[in-house]
Amino acid sequence: MRSHPSVIIFDVDGVLVDTRQSFQRTTLETVQFFVGKKVSHRELHRWKNRPGFNDDWKLSTAWVNTLGKEIGYDQVKRKFVEIYWGPNGKGNAAREKWLLPPGNLRRLAKLAELNVFTGRVRRELDYTLDRWKVRDFFQKIVTVENVKRPKPAPDGLLRILSGRDPGSALYVGDNVDDALAARAARIPFVGILPRRSEERRQRGATLRKLGAVTILSDISELERWLKRAFRGQKPPSRSQPSARVGQ
């Protein structure tokens, strides 16, 4: 990257939200339900390190079948959704944590247009944005339901760009499909992988091979990295907010 990005696009899970006790826990519990034995985070991240498994329902189904149980996608999805939302909304969804404080978002929004491209469905994303009261920081929001082809296809990123120069944007994600989507869209990519984590041990080198310009340990480091990487440059002037995509 040669100039400060005017557009920043965020993935959600593992970037803006800590999902270890929500989506990751639900994946493990879903697989365990069908195969009758415990499975580990280490095994989960081996799956996450492969392209095409950004969708947790798809990942869970493939994992269950690999372990010798012939269970269909729809049946696995139903159990996953049941565990995730739980009775009376008290499932694993309530365990997730928002990672980027409003103050950081407010400062970033002065530097660039902020957007979201996520593999979540709308219900899951709406729950999080409204629960943590952060929806209004994002100008364009694209979920998996708004695109014909999910990640690693670049469709959601290109939809947000709407013909703008990919080099003027930045995509921030945490997995292989995020990096592949960014590469296909020709958008610079920043990886988020916690220091000394299983994710970083298994995925760090892969994200760099796929073109990550840097790997940060926490999303709160992004603002400081932007200032350091583009020292002496003025952030681009901000235009009026665009209408939200997919809403």
Output the pLDDT for position 93: 97
Output the pLDDT for position 236: 76
Output the pLDDT for position 81: 97
Going from the C-alpha of 48 to that of each of 45, 178, 200, 206, 225, the distances in angstroms are: 5, 11, 12, 11, 26
> Which residue, 245, 199, 13, is CA-closest to 119?
13
Output the pLDDT for position 239: 53
Output the pLDDT for position 197: 87
Output the pLDDT for position 244: 55
Give the DSSP H/E element, type plus range, for residue 193: none
Report the distance separating Cα 40 and Cα 27, nearest Å. Answer: 10
| Bridge partners, residue 13, by sequence | 17
Q: What is the CA radius of gyration of the chain?
A: 18
pLDDT tens, per residue, the chain with 247 residues: 778 999 999 999 999 999 999 999 999 999 999 999 999 999 999 999 899 998 999 999 999 999 999 999 999 999 999 999 999 889 999 999 999 999 999 999 999 999 999 999 999 999 999 999 999 999 999 999 999 999 999 999 999 999 999 999 999 999 999 999 999 999 999 999 999 888 898 899 999 999 999 999 999 999 999 999 998 787 776 654 444 556 4
